[in-house]
């Protein structure tokens, strides 16, 4: 919404939330999320054509277009638990819109929901003898965290799904007018509602599948002396495949990939497409295996015991340039290392507050801002998130502060392995042979 406000000075954008605390933060200089470039843009537009308010009912009534961007987590209870999307917030929002709308509205699904979820919204909005006209559009979001502003300002495509009726197409054109302020027309794609909803799930599923695919290749590399960086370069230069999203790692994380694939699995099961459900479910279960493999590699390298050993964890966020730790591989990996009775010193430039919440009540873990302090007396370093700042550290100084033999498990192939080996580290990359002095 900040990008829309900054690109469309002729529109007034008001963001509402049921959390007054969040709205307060959005109205301050301490925004509730860390995203490069966001604060500058908020400060520029706020108070001019961008507003943050907790007065939801009034703002619903005043708006012509309402973007619904509420959270749609995986259901944790009842039918579909662990797979289906919990639609309670979508439903509550639809009811609130219906109660407060006195004039015609275009309601835009921004949240990622299941295929045919627009139907649920429509049923609620059109129920009873309400004379207000609602038109529902699907406009899924493809931006990624950490690069959110760049992705929004220069999107590969903007997708708008609508009903193929005169009022559906008219509403679609109203939304297109907004994006046409900065997105070239050829990048605007229009489809029917269901294609748009499914395209969102399919895109995340394909991306996650690529990550899992390269991680399977990394496992083969580790036993055959092939090098996953070389293989991924060779594979990615095939223009039919492309080079992005081919970095091996400790497994994918984030609030979307797992949730969206499992949602698609649930959808397939619902339609008795069981083989297809199993195909996609394998992407998620392989990812669990990948996180466990990273832990096993640490355990085996460190003489099959971590009891009482200190491990510095470099990075807890699910990816760099965000403080978000939802579904971060670090959560699983750290819990497993703690089970092995290791002592963890976790460091991260932006995610320590969330890390503390994720590991609340667990013994044997400290959260330390300064990586140099985190490594004091450590037996090993596990790099889980590829923050740029980790490349710039003085690894000789780090080596000197550690117990020997000193181990480094570069879960992202982020550091200069040869240089680390020459300093004296035993280096364990992903998808490459280890460099060991042992
Ligand atoms: C993802 C999609 O990339 C966005 O297009 C989508 O809009 C978003 O989900 C969403 O549905 O909201 P995001 O979860 O922010 O974005 O992050 P990604 O950049 O996709 O990374 C996901 C995970 O895959 C991270 O843990 C990352 O470290 C991992 N990854 C990514 C790899 O391990 N290797 C790669 O080559 C790429």
Residue boundaries of the structural domains of the chain:
2-200, 302-428
Beta strand residue intervals within 30-85, DSSP E? 50-53, 65-68
- 2-200 and 302-428 in the same fold: yes
Exposure b/e, 32-59, CB count within 10 A at least 16 = b: eebbeeeeebbeebbeebbbbeeebeeb
Report which protein residue has its CA nearest ligand 1's atom 20: 144
Q: What is the predicted pLDDT for the residue at 263?
A: 94
pLDDT tens-digit readout, 151-197: 999 999 999 999 999 999 999 999 999 999 999 999 999 999 999 99
On the question of pLDDT at 317 being above 90, the answer is: yes
Distance 144 CA to ligand 1 centre (A): 6
For range 246-256, the mean pLDDT: 97
What does the DSSP assignment read for 166-199? Answer: HHHHHHHHHHHHHHTTTS-GGGEEEEEHHHHHHH
Which helix (DSSP H) or strand (DSSP E) does residue 58 occupy? Answer: helix 56-62
At 255 the pLDDT is 92
Instruction: Tell which atom from ligand 1 comes closest to the C-alpha of 318.
Output: 26
Average pLDDT, the chain: 96
More confident residue, 281 or 128: 281
Structure tokens given for 139 = 């406009």
Count the alpha carbons within 13 Å of 424 in the hemisphere toward its beta carbon: 14
Which residue has the CA at smallest separation from atom 16 of ligand 1? 144
Look up the CATH number of domain 2-200: 3.40.50.720
Mean pLDDT of 277-305: 98
Rg for the chain (alpha carbons), in Å? 24
Give the residue, by CA position, lying nearest to ligand 1 atom 13. Answer: 144
- Provide the pLDDT confidence category of residue 112 given band limits of 50, 70 and 90: confident
**388: nearest Cα among 436, 317, 332:** 317
What pLDDT band is residue 118 in, cutting at 50, 70 and 90? confident
The alpha carbon of 254 and the centre of ligand 1 are apart by a number of angstroms equal to 7
Atom of ligand 1 nearest to the CA of 247: 36
What's the CA-to-centroid distance between 2 and ligand 1, angstroms? 21
Q: Specify the residue with its C-alpha closest to ligand 1, atom 14.
A: 254
Among 8, 256, 268, 334, the one annotated catalytic: 256
Mutate to test the pocket of ligand 1, among 113, 211, 258, 348 (most ligand atoms within 8 A of CB): 211
Mean local confidence (pLDDT), 262-276: 96
- The pLDDT, as a whole number, for residue 114 is 80
Share of the chain above pLDDT 70, in %: 100
Burial of 3 (0-12, 13-18, 19+ CB in 10 A): buried
Q: Check whether 435 has a pLDDT greater than 90.
A: yes
Instruction: Give residue 204 CA to ligand 1 midpoint distance, Å.
Output: 8
Q: Can you name the CATH fold of 302-428?
A: Rossmann fold (3.40.50)
The DSSP line for 316-342 is -SSSTT----TT-HHHHHHHHHHHTT-
Using CA positions, which residue lies closest to atom 7 of ligand 1?
142
Q: How does residue 115 score in pLDDT terms, banded at 50, 70 and 90?
A: confident
Query: For residue 120, what pLDDT band results from cuts at 50, 70 and 90?
Result: confident
- DSSP-assigned beta bridge partners for residue 426: 407
Cα 175 to ligand 1 centre (Å)? 26
Cα-based distances in Å from 51 to 4, 59, 145, 166, 359: 12, 10, 22, 32, 35
Ligand 1 centroid–CA 115 distance in Å is 21
- Give the ligand 1 atom nearest the CA of 142: 7
The preferred substitution site among 111, 201, 246, 257 for testing ligand 1, maximizing ligand atoms within 8 Å of CB, is 257
How many residues would you count in the chain? 438
> Going by CA atoms, what residue is nearest to atom 1 of ligand 1?
144
CA 145 to ligand 1: nearest atom: 15
pLDDT class of 113 with cuts at 50, 70, 90 = confident
User: What is the pLDDT, as a whole number, of residue 128?
Assistant: 81
Rounded to the nearest angstrom, the distance between the alpha carbon of 149 and the centre of ligand 1 is 15
Residue nearest to atom 29 of ligand 1 (CA): 252
343 is catalytic: no
Ligand 1 atom 19 nearest Cα: 144
Half-sphere exposure of 227 (CA within 13 A, CB side): 8
Distance 112 CA to ligand 1 centre (A): 15
In ligand 1, the atom with minimum distance to the C-alpha of 386 is 28
Instruction: List residues near ligand 1 (CB under 6 A).
Output: 112, 141-145, 204, 207, 211, 245-247, 249, 252-254, 256-257, 318-319
């Amino acid at each position: 919404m900040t990008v829309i406000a900054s690109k469309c000075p002729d529109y007034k954008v008001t963001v509402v939330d049921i959390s007054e605390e969040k709205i307060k933060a959005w109205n301050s200089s301490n925004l509730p999320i860390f995203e490069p470039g966001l604060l500058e843009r908020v400060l520029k537009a706020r108070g001019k054509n961008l507003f943050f308010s907790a007065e939801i009912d009034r703002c619903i009534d005043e708006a012509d277009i309402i973007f619904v961007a509420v959270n749609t987590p995986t259901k944790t209870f009842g039918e579909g638990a662990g797979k289906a999307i919990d639609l309670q917030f979508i439903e509550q929002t639809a009811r609130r819109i219906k109660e407060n709308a006195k004039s015609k509205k275009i309601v835009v699904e921004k949240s990622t929901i299941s295929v045919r979820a627009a139907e649920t919204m429509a049923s609620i909005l059109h129920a009873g003898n309400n004379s207000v006209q609602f038109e529902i559009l699907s406009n899924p979001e493809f931006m990624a965290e950490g690069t959110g502003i760049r992705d929004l300002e220069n999107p590969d495509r903007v997708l708008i799904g609508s009903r193929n009726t005169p009022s559906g197409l008219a509403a679609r054109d109203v939304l297109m007018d907004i994006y046409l302020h900065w997105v070239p027309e050829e990048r605007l794609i229009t489809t029917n509602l269901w294609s748009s909803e499914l395209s969102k799930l399919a895109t995340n599923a394909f991306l996650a599948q690529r990550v899992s695919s390269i991680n399977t290749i990394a496992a083969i590399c580790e036993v055959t002396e092939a090098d996953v960086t070389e293989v991924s370069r060779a594979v990615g230069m095939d223009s039919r495949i492309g080079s992005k999203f081919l970095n091996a790692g400790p497994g994918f994380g984030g609030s979307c990939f797992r949730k969206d694939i499992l949602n698609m699995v649930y959808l397939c099961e619902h339609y008795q497409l069981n083989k297809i459900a199993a195909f996609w479910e394998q992407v998620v279960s392989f990812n669990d295996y990948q996180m466990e493999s990273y832990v096993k590699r640490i355990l085996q390298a460190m003489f099959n015991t971590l009891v009482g050993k200190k491990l510095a964890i470099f990075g807890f966020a699910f990816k760099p340039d965000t403080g978000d730790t939802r579904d971060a591989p670090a959560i699983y990996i750290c819990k497993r290392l703690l089970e092995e009775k290791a002592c963890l010193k976790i460091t991260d430039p932006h995610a320590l507050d969330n890390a503390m919440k994720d590991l609340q009540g667990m013994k044997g873990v400290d959260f330390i801002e300064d990586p140099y302090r985190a490594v004091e007396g450590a037996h090993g370093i596990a790099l889980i998130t590829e923050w740029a700042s980790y490349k710039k550290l003085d690894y000789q100084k780090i080596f000197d502060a550690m117990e020997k033999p000193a181990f480094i498990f570069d879960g992202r192939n982020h550091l200069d392995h040869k240089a680390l080996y020459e300093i004296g580290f035993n280096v364990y990359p992903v998808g490459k042979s280890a460099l060991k002095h042992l």
